[in-house]
Amino acid sequence: MNLAVCADVGSTYTKAAVVDLDGGRLVAAAAAPTTVGTDVLHGLDAAVGAATAGLTAGDLPWYVCSSAGGGLRLAVVGYEPLVTAQAGRRVGLSAGANVVHVAAGRLGQADLTALRAARPDVVLLVGGTDGGDADTLTHNATRLARARWRVPVVLAGNADARDDLHALLAAAAVPVTAADNVLPRIGVLAPAPARAAIREVFLRHVIGGKKLSRGGRFARLVRAATPDAVLTGVEVLADALGGDLAVVDVGGATTDVYSVLTPDERDTGPSQEVAGTLWRARTVEGDLGMRWSAPGVVRAAAEERLLAPGEADDLAAAAAVRAADPGFLPAADADRAADRRIAALAATVALRRHARGAATGERAGRDLRDVKLMVGSGGVLRHAHPGDAAGVLAAVLGDHAGGWPLPRAARAVVDVDYVLAAGGLLAADHPGAAAALLRRHLAG
């Protein structure tokens, strides 16, 4: 068989899968704890070794993504908050980044101090439509150059000023990569070039800079940030399905939501978003998670009026236990029931925020009525009894009180075999295998 290894080095566990590239079939899979405390290669090699045990296929190509060490921290600096800065934020999320800071307007000294305090791995510098205002973009690039800025910059603003500002930053020894404008004209959001540039900078500067491994092998193996690979997998699956799709990924620290919508008449007219519509989008809810962020789930659920009378105190106590011990494993029935409830609440709140547009900054929100497939992901769903996982997704799809357009006829499925990341990793080199893998395991 023509095989490849796909691996995701997560914050807690490293997952490895062996895929048959000829048929898009999952041959084997295994997981091992991520070894951030020593060298992440130890956990990666252990997971891959377990997945390939007994296979006699010789040396296999490796496709690796990573969110270890906090993943990719991105700051956005734009022209003004409602248009280019918002467009940059949406693009950053689609590139798999955790957007830790957004600044708009001309940077002053206080703004630079706040930017440094956010500790970004990459700065996305945007501003102005092509042929429009270039003064603010020029001012901000000049401030970064004079401030001896050493964090990598992706320059994706007004194309008329791009070459001059790239030369300015490079002359000041700022690590800079230029890309096409994220907002070439009002209402048109073009994420692909900046997303590719952010991925390139992540691989070239960020992975090695996080000191996750002592040698250079890990940096050579990694091809994408995990959320970037997953979004690519979601895009491949949506294209294979030929319709709208949503994914909710409940993790220990965050809950990510991905959606792919079909552009239609919503893309034009008076309700058109001036910052553009990202039809393939990702949002991150940093206060919603199964372990580190479990208390945030209870608080958010209370604010959304999702808790039954008398439920808050018991659930808050359970959440506190999980936050204090991120390695907590539920053994008793009551603990497993609490995990299911926290997962259902995290997924419900995260999808409400995503659909309302609060997390994407979209004025009209995201219309999920035509979603054909709702995919659940995350360890709490993958390792749950199938009926329990189905119950979590049923709670999400039955949430009629959230004030957002509910999917009208969505089928729910759990990414039990963790193939979304693998499909995304294979998409560029082996698109047929990626599509076949995702269809087989998720499309039914």
3-state secondary structure of 179: coil
CATH 3.90.1150.10 for domain 3-68+211-223: no
Residues in CB range of 281: below 8 A, 6 or more apart: 90, 93, 94, 258, 259, 260, 354, 360, 366
The whole-angstrom separation of Cα 381 and Cα 367 is 25
Residues in CB range of 329: below 8 A, 6 or more apart: none
Residue ranges of the chain that CATH labels 3.30.420.40: 3-68+211-223
pLDDT in tens, 180-215: 999 998 878 888 999 999 999 998 888 888 889 988
Tokens of 228: 């970037």
pLDDT in tens, 142-169: 999 999 999 999 999 999 999 999 999 9
Answer yes or no: are the C-beta atoms of 190 and 180 closer than 8 Å.
yes
Residue 287 pLDDT greater than 80, yes or no: yes
Out of 195-199, 403-407, 425-429, pick the least confident: 403-407
The whole-angstrom separation of Cα 398 and Cα 183 is 36
User: Which of the four pLDDT bands, split at 50, 70 and 90, describes residue 270?
Assistant: very low
pLDDT in tens, 82-131: 777 888 888 888 888 888 999 999 999 999 999 999 999 999 999 999 99
Length of the chain in residues, anyone? 444
CA distances from 55 to 9, 48, 50, 404, 418 (A): 22, 11, 10, 48, 20
**pLDDT at position 264:** 63
Residue 12 pLDDT greater than 90, yes or no: no
Percentage of the chain lying above the pLDDT 90 cut: 68
Answer yes or no: are the C-beta atoms of 71 and 226 closer than 8 Å.
yes
The whole-angstrom separation of Cα 279 and Cα 190 is 11
* Packing angle, helices 333-356 and 312-324, rounded to 10: 100
73-206 topology per CATH = Rossmann fold (3.40.50)
Termini Cα distance of the chain: 24
Residue ranges of the chain that CATH labels 3.40.50.2300: 73-206
Average pLDDT, the chain: 90
Nearest to 245 by CA among 281, 289, 285, 286: 281
Residue 358 pLDDT greater than 60, yes or no: no
